[in-house]
């Protein structure tokens, strides 16, 4: 279908956000196709989720390449082959090189477990607790050459309870991510169609 909005999802692990996207597309019958799921970890459980949904999978592991640049080049070549409308980083644990980001300018989005610009990088839940924050959440943003610094597209937030642990907060934020990321993908697909 010419009107189908195509995406490629990049993962490194469990793939729960990938599952949320798969389920939302099926439930809402959105005209969105996941062309491929690419992982930089052959052991990523998300690959099994993709197989179960009959989505093409690829594994491009860093250890297969002599340099980071060679890895990035292989990933870039694969993505150019699929030529998606949007590339979704859903728990993809690899810092992308500036040249890679620029090759897919405004086509790369990431889900980050904090209310950006607060708590860029890792260990966001514990850092939010340590900072005595009252609220926490997640952000979907465009990927730029600076880590977690691209334009925020949408956010979702939750309250932090007085007895909150990093684990309980992580579970809350995961639930928010599973709602927010599919919605943003759908929103972007509509924007493309109407532009």
Q: What angle do CA 126, 110, 49 make, to 5 degrees?
A: 90
Gap between the Cα atoms of 65 and 96, Å rounded: 15
| 7, 163 contact by CB (below 8 A) | no
**What count of Cα atoms within 13 Å lies in the side-chain half-sphere of residue 21?**
32
Structure-token pair, residue 14: 């469990």
Catalytic residues: 112
Exposed/middle/buried for 115, CB within 10 Å: 0-12, 13-18, 19+? buried
Gap between the Cα atoms of 36 and 88, Å rounded: 11
| 18, 89 contact by CB (below 8 A) | no
Gap between the Cα atoms of 166 and 180, Å rounded: 20
């Amino acid at each position: 279908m010419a009107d189908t909005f195509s995406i490629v999802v990049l993962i490194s692990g469990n793939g729960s956000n990938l599952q949320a996207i798969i389920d939302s597309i099926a439930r809402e019958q959105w005209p969105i196709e996941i062309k491929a799921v690419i992982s930089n970890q052959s052991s990523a459980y998300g690959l099994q989720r993709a197989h179960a949904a009959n989505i093409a999978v690829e594994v491009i592991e860093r250890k297969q390449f002599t340099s980071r640049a060679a890895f990035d080049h292989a990933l870039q070549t694969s993505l150019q082959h699929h030529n998606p409308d949007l590339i979704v980083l859903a728990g993809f644990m690899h810092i992308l090189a500036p040249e890679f980001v620029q090759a897919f300018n405004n086509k790369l989005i990431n889900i980050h477990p904090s209310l950006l610009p607060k708590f860029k990088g890792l260990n966001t839940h514990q850092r939010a607790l340590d900072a005595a924050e009252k609220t926490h959440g997640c952000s979907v943003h465009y990927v730029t050459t600076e880590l977690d610094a691209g334009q925020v597209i949408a956010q979702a937030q939750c309250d932090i309870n007085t007895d909150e642990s990093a684990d309980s907060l992580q579970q809350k934020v995961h639930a928010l991510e599973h709602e927010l990321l599919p919605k943003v993908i759908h929103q972007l697909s509509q924007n493309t169609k109407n532009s």
